[in-house]
Chains A and B, each alone.
Chain A
Amino acid sequence: MRALIVDDSRFVRDFLRGLLEEKGIECEEASDGKAGLSHLHEGDPFDLALVDWNMPVMDGLDMLKNMRAEGYADVKVMMVTTEAEDDFIIRSLDAGADEYLMKPFDNEALTEKLAMLGFVEA
C-alpha cells in the first residue's frame, strides 16, 4: 500500500514516513498541496493521503477539495492538524476528509487512525 505525505514541515514528513514505513507502507512526500496533487496525477495510485492544513502555495483544504473534484474518490484522506484548529477539522470533514490526526501525535494515535480506515490492525 502507498501513502502520500503532504506537509510543508520536513520534520513532520520524516516523522510520519518513519512510522508508516515501519508498518510496511510505502511513502511519497510533497511539501505543499499543489505538489501533492501532481504526485497524484503522475505515477502509481495512492491508497492514502496524509495532508497538513497550513501550507504555502496550496493549503490542505484546497488540495482536498481539488482531489475530490478531480475524482480521486478512492484515496482516503487523513487531515493532519493541530488542536487549535477545530474549525478546520469540521470544514475538512465536510469537504470529504475521512479522518483526522492531531499534532502532536505518536505511533499509537496514528495506528488507531489507520486502523479506523482499515489499513492496519489496531
Chain B
Amino acid sequence: MDELTREFLIESQEGLDRMERCLTDLEERPQDTELLGEIFRSVHTIKGTTGFLGFKRLERLAHAGENLLGLLRDGKLSANQAIITGLLHLMDALRGILKTIETDNKEGEGEDAELIGRLHELQHPEAAVATMNAKAAAASSANAHTPAPPIVHQARSSVPAIPDPETAPAPVDVRGAVIDSKPPADAASESGKPKTITTAASDSTLRVDVILLNRMMNLVGELVLTRNQILQATSLDPNLTLLSRRLDMVTADLRESVMKARMQPVSNVFSKFPRIIRDLSQALHRKVRLVMEGQETELDKSLLEAIKDPLTHAVRNSLDHGIEPPDVRIAAGKDPEGTLKLRAYQESSHVIIEVSDDGAGIRVERVRAKAIERGLIAAERAAQLADRELLQLIFLPGFSTAEAVTNVSGRGVGMDVVRTNVEKIGGKVEIDSRAGKGTTLRLRIPLTLAIIPALIVRSLNQSFALPQGALSELVHIPPERASAAFEYMEGTPLYRLRGQLLPLIFLDRLLSPGAGSTSLASEARAERDNFIAVLDADGRRFGLVVDGLADPEEIVVKPLSSVLKSIGLYSGATVLGSGDLALILDPGSIASRAGVALRSNDEGHAEVSQEEEESDVMASRYLLVEASERRAAVPLGDVLRIERLPLSRIEYIGYRPVLNFDGQLLPVEDSGGVLAAAGGNPNAQVTVVVCREGTRHVGIAVSHVLDVAAGDELFEAGSQHRASGVTLLNDQVTGIVDLGAVPPLPLNPQITSPQLTDWTTETVA
C-alpha cells in the first residue's frame, strides 16, 4: 500500500473516532453546533479525500452523510434519535470499508443503497413515515397507463424490407407510438421534489424501491425473449397465430409500462441549472438568460443520473468559453445578454438534450493549433481535416480549448469525459459550432438500455446483432457488382457511397483473419450478395460488410462474461427469436480495431486508413497525379500513403531529396520539379505519394492528386522518360510512373550529414 493511502486510512479512522465521541455527546446536547460542525467535518474530509483515491463506495456514503449533516449543522433540521442512529450506521459502514481497504487495498463489494436511501429519508422527517409504508408497492403511473395496443403492435412489427441500395432503413419506432397518459406536471411533482410528498399525495402515487423496478425490468426482458421465440415457433400454425399475437401485444404493452415506471422527467436534472447559472454568471461577470424547453420529456432514471454530470459540464463550458462578457458582446453587435438554451425532446428511440448558446463559438483554427500542440494529431493530418472534423477533436482525451482554464471549467476535465460518460450509456455526443454565432452540444440518449432495436446480420454462418443506433444505412451489392464495387487503396478496402469514399471492414475477415487467402475470399465474395451496413461510431463512419441480413429485432441485452468482453468486439449477447444465441457487435470497438480513419468531407485520400497493408490490389487502377502540369499515373496497388507535408520535412543527401517516413529514409523522385518549384520556402506544402517498389519504399513528389481511375496498360514503353508504360485514363493518354527506375539512395540511409558524405566520397576516391 502506498504512503498516501495509508495516510488516508489513518486520517479517516481518526475522524471516525472523533465522530463517535461527538455522536455520544450529541444525544445529550442535540443542538450543540460545535459538535455538529465537528461531525460534519469528519465526514466532509472523508468525502473530500476519498475522491483522490477513487474509492467510490466511500465517496457515495460520505456524500449522503454530508448532506444530512449539513442540514443539521445549519439548523435546518434538529437531531433526533432516528438521525443519530442513522449516523452511527453510517459510521459503522465507513469503518467497515476502511478496514477492507486496509487488508485488500480495495473497497470490496457491498450494497449501500439502503443506507444511503435512509440517510436521504432522514433529511425529510415528514416524508419518512409515508415512504417507509409505501416502499415495496408499485408505481401508480404504471397502473394509470392506458394501453394503445393496435398502434404499438403496428409499430413493432413493421419490418422494413431491405435492400434497395443506398436507402436508409426506417428505424423501428417503438416509443413514439405510445400514448403518454400522464400529465407532465404530475410527473414533476411525483419524483422531482420528494419534500412535497405528503400523506395526501401518497393516495395516488407510491414510491417504489428502484431495486424492485430493476427486477421487474429484468423479468420483462425475459418475457420479451420468450415472446420472440413463441412468435417464431407459432408463425406457421394458424391456430396459434391469434393467441401469440395477443401475447405479443400484451408483452409490448407491459414492457412499455414497466419502462415508463422507471421514467423521470428531465426537469429533475434541469431544475438545478437556474441556480448554477445565476451563480456562475455572476462570478464570471456574464449576463445570461436561461431558456429551458421540454422539461417534461422523460428518460430512464439510471440514464438521467448518468447524464447529470456531462450536462453540468456542458453548461459550465458554455458559460466559461461560450458566452462572452457583455462589453465584448456589445462590440460584436450582439445583445449584451447571452442566451443559454437547454432543450429536451424525443426523437424516435432517443431523447435528445441540447445545450446551445449564442456565444463566441469555437474557432476551429484554435482547435487545430491546440490539437497539434498537445500532440493529439500530426500537423500534416490536421491540415487536411475539414472544420467539422476539427470540432470532433475537442472530444479527444487531453484536449481543452480553454486558453486559460478559468475558475468555472474547474478541474480541467474536458469534453472527452462528457463523451465517455454519454457513450457509456449507449448515447452519442454531437457538436455544432459557428465562430461568432454560438455552439450547440447535442446529447443523444437512448430511452433505455435494457432492450434495444437491432438488425440481425449474418457472417460466417452465424448471426450477430447490430444495434440500430449506430446504423445509418444499408447498401446491397449484388454478385455481379461485387468486383467493381470494392476498391482498394493502400490495401484498405473502400466503397464509393455517393461520391464519398467509405472505408470498409469485412466482418468475416475481422472475425477469422486466417480463413483462406484473401483472394479466395474475394472470389467467394464475388459469387454472392454482399451487404454494407453503414455505421457511425466514435465520430467515424465506415461500412461493415456482411453476408446477409435478417429481420430487425428488439433484443434484450445480456452482459458478457469477462472472457468474451476482453475480445472487445462485442458489447453483449442476446437470445434471438429463433432461440439462437447471438453476440451483439460493438461498432465503436470494431472501428478502432480495424483502425478506420476519421471521417473526412474533403479529399477522398484523407479517408484511408494507415494501418493495413494487405495485398489486395486492383492492378488496373491508377492514382492520377499531376506534377508541374504534367499528368502521370501511379499503380494504385503500389500506393501506401499520400502525405501532405511542409517542404521542411524533405531532407537532402547530397542533391537527392529524401523523406524520413516512419523512421525510414526513402528517396523522393522529383522529376516533375515540384520540390524545386516550392522555392525553398520551408512552410510550403508539398504532396508526396509514398509507394512500394519491391522491398523498398519510394516517394513521388507531386503537385496534386487528381483522381483514382481505371485503365488498361496499353503497352510497355521505355520511350517516355521515367514511365514504365502508358495507359488511357479519363480518355487521356497518361504515362505510368516507373517506380523501379527511381535510383536507390547513394549511401547507407542512416548517414545523412554532409560531412560524412564528403568523407565517404574521399575514401572511395
Chain B binds chain A = yes
CB distance from B305 to the nearest CB of A (A): 16
In the complex, what residues of B have CB within 8 A of residue A90's CB? Answer: 279-280, 282-283
Residue of A at shortest CB range from B409?
A112
Complex CA–CA separation, A113 to B412 (angstroms): 9
CB distance from A22 to the nearest CB of B (A): 14
- Verify if A89 is at the interface (C-beta below 8 Å from B): yes
CB distance from B523 to the nearest CB of A (A): 53
Interface residues of A in 63-107 (CB under 8 A from B): 82-84, 86-87, 89-90, 93, 99-106
Complex CA–CA separation, A86 to B49 (angstroms): 18
> Looking at the complex, which one of A82, A106, A113 makes contact with B48 (CB distance below 8 Å)?
A82
In the complex, what residues of A have CB within 8 A of residue B45's CB? Answer: 8-9, 54
Chain A's interface size range is 20 to 34
Q: How many Cβ-Cβ contacts under 8 Å join chain A to chain B?
A: 77
Complex CA–CA separation, A108 to B405 (angstroms): 11
Complex CA–CA separation, A56 to B412 (angstroms): 29
Whether A11 touches B49, Cβ cut-off 8 Å, given contacts A90-B283, A109-B412, is yes
> Looking at the complex, which one of B52, B63, B283 makes contact with A89 (CB distance below 8 Å)?
B283
> Looking at the complex, which one of B37, B279, B407 makes contact with A100 (CB distance below 8 Å)?
B407
In the complex, what residues of A have CB within 8 A of residue B283's CB? Answer: 89-90, 93
- Verify if B256 is at the interface (C-beta below 8 Å from A): no
Whether A12 touches B49, Cβ cut-off 8 Å, given contacts A105-B411, A109-B411, is yes
In the complex, what residues of A have CB within 8 A of residue B48's CB? Answer: 9, 12, 82, 103-104
Interface residues of A in 1-26 (CB under 8 A from B): 8-12, 14-15, 18
B412 A108 Cβ-Cβ under 8 A: yes
- Verify if A116 is at the interface (C-beta below 8 Å from B): yes
- Verify if B47 is at the interface (C-beta below 8 Å from A): yes
Mask of B643-683 contacts with A, CB within 8 angstroms, 1/0: 00000000000000000000000000000000000000000
- Verify if B51 is at the interface (C-beta below 8 Å from A): yes
B41 A54 Cβ-Cβ under 8 A: yes
B407 A93 Cβ-Cβ under 8 A: yes
- Verify if B211 is at the interface (C-beta below 8 Å from A): no
Interface-side segment among B3-11, B220-228, B351-359, B687-695: B3-11
Interface residues of B in 394-450 (CB under 8 A from A): 404-407, 410-412
Complex CA–CA separation, A25 to B41 (angstroms): 29
- Verify if B44 is at the interface (C-beta below 8 Å from A): yes
Complex CA–CA separation, A14 to B5 (angstroms): 11
Complex CA–CA separation, A9 to B49 (angstroms): 8
- Verify if B209 is at the interface (C-beta below 8 Å from A): no
B4 A104 Cβ-Cβ under 8 A: no
Whether A116 touches B52, Cβ cut-off 8 Å, given contacts A14-B7, A101-B411, is no
From A11, A87, A89, A104, residue with most partner B Cβ within 10 Å: A11
CB distance from B416 to the nearest CB of A (A): 13
In the complex, what residues of B have CB within 8 A of residue A11's CB? Answer: 4, 7-8, 11, 49, 52
CB distance from B62 to the nearest CB of A (A): 11
In the complex, what residues of A have CB within 8 A of residue B107's CB? Answer: none
In the complex, what residues of B have CB within 8 A of residue A84's CB? Answer: 63, 66
Complex CA–CA separation, A18 to B4 (angstroms): 10
A56 B38 Cβ-Cβ under 8 A: yes
Complex CA–CA separation, A32 to B406 (angstroms): 27
Residue of A at shortest CB range from B41?
A54
In the complex, what residues of B have CB within 8 A of residue A15's CB? Answer: 4, 52
Complex CA–CA separation, A12 to B4 (angstroms): 9
Complex CA–CA separation, A18 to B66 (angstroms): 28
CB distance from B490 to the nearest CB of A (A): 37
In the complex, what residues of A have CB within 8 A of residue B515's CB? Answer: none
A113 B405 Cβ-Cβ under 8 A: yes
- Verify if B747 is at the interface (C-beta below 8 Å from A): no
- Verify if B497 is at the interface (C-beta below 8 Å from A): no
Residue of A at shortest CB range from B34?
A56
B44 A54 Cβ-Cβ under 8 A: yes
> Looking at the complex, which one of B44, B52, B279, B405 makes contact with A112 (CB distance below 8 Å)?
B405
In the complex, what residues of B have CB within 8 A of residue A8's CB? Answer: 41, 45
Whether A102 touches B410, Cβ cut-off 8 Å, given contacts A11-B49, A86-B279, A116-B404, is yes
Residue of A at shortest CB range from B59?
A104
CB distance from B286 to the nearest CB of A (A): 13
In the complex, what residues of A have CB within 8 A of residue B7's CB? Answer: 10-11, 14
In the complex, what residues of B have CB within 8 A of residue A56's CB? Answer: 37-38, 41
- Verify if B276 is at the interface (C-beta below 8 Å from A): yes
In the complex, what residues of B have CB within 8 A of residue A104's CB? Answer: 48-49, 51-52, 411
Mask of B267-286 contacts with A, CB within 8 angstroms, 1/0: 00000000010011011000
Complex CA–CA separation, A82 to B410 (angstroms): 10
Residue of B at shortest CB range from A13?
B7
> Looking at the complex, which one of A10, A83, A112 makes contact with B412 (CB distance below 8 Å)?
A112
Residue of A at shortest CB range from B408?
A89
Interface residues of B in 40-77 (CB under 8 A from A): 40-41, 44-45, 47-49, 51-52, 63, 66
In the complex, what residues of B have CB within 8 A of residue A54's CB? Answer: 40-41, 44-45
Complex CA–CA separation, A22 to B679 (angstroms): 47
In the complex, what residues of A have CB within 8 A of residue B410's CB? Answer: 83, 102
In the complex, what residues of A have CB within 8 A of residue B406's CB? Answer: 116
Complex CA–CA separation, A23 to B52 (angstroms): 20
Complex CA–CA separation, A56 to B3 (angstroms): 25
Complex CA–CA separation, A72 to B322 (angstroms): 34
CB distance from B153 to the nearest CB of A (A): 47
Complex CA–CA separation, A106 to B280 (angstroms): 23
Residue of B at shortest CB range from A56?
B41
Mask of B1-37 contacts with A, CB within 8 angstroms, 1/0: 0011001100100000000000000000000000001
B411 A102 Cβ-Cβ under 8 A: yes
CB distance from B560 to the nearest CB of A (A): 31
A103 B51 Cβ-Cβ under 8 A: yes
B412 A86 Cβ-Cβ under 8 A: no
Complex CA–CA separation, A11 to B48 (angstroms): 10
Whether A82 touches B276, Cβ cut-off 8 Å, given contacts A14-B4, A93-B407, is no
Complex CA–CA separation, A116 to B51 (angstroms): 24
From B47, B283, B407, residue with most partner A Cβ within 10 Å: B407
Complex CA–CA separation, A103 to B66 (angstroms): 15
CB distance from B355 to the nearest CB of A (A): 18
Complex CA–CA separation, A55 to B38 (angstroms): 9
In the complex, what residues of B have CB within 8 A of residue A87's CB? Answer: 279
Complex CA–CA separation, A98 to B33 (angstroms): 31
A residues lining the B interface (CB < 8 Å): 8-12, 14-15, 18, 54-56, 82-84, 86-87, 89-90, 93, 99-106, 108-109, 112-113, 116
B residues lining the A interface (CB < 8 Å): 3-4, 7-8, 11, 37-38, 40-41, 44-45, 47-49, 51-52, 63, 66, 276, 279-280, 282-283, 404-407, 410-412
Can you sample 26 A-B contacts with CB below 8 Å? A9-B11, A9-B48, A11-B7, A11-B8, A12-B49, A18-B4, A82-B47, A83-B410, A84-B63, A84-B66, A90-B283, A93-B407, A101-B411, A102-B410, A103-B48, A103-B49, A103-B52, A104-B49, A104-B411, A105-B52, A108-B412, A109-B405, A109-B411, A109-B412, A113-B405, A116-B404
- Contacts A9-B49, A86-B280 given; 7 further ones with Cβ under 8 A? A10-B7, A12-B52, A82-B44, A82-B48, A89-B283, A103-B48, A109-B411
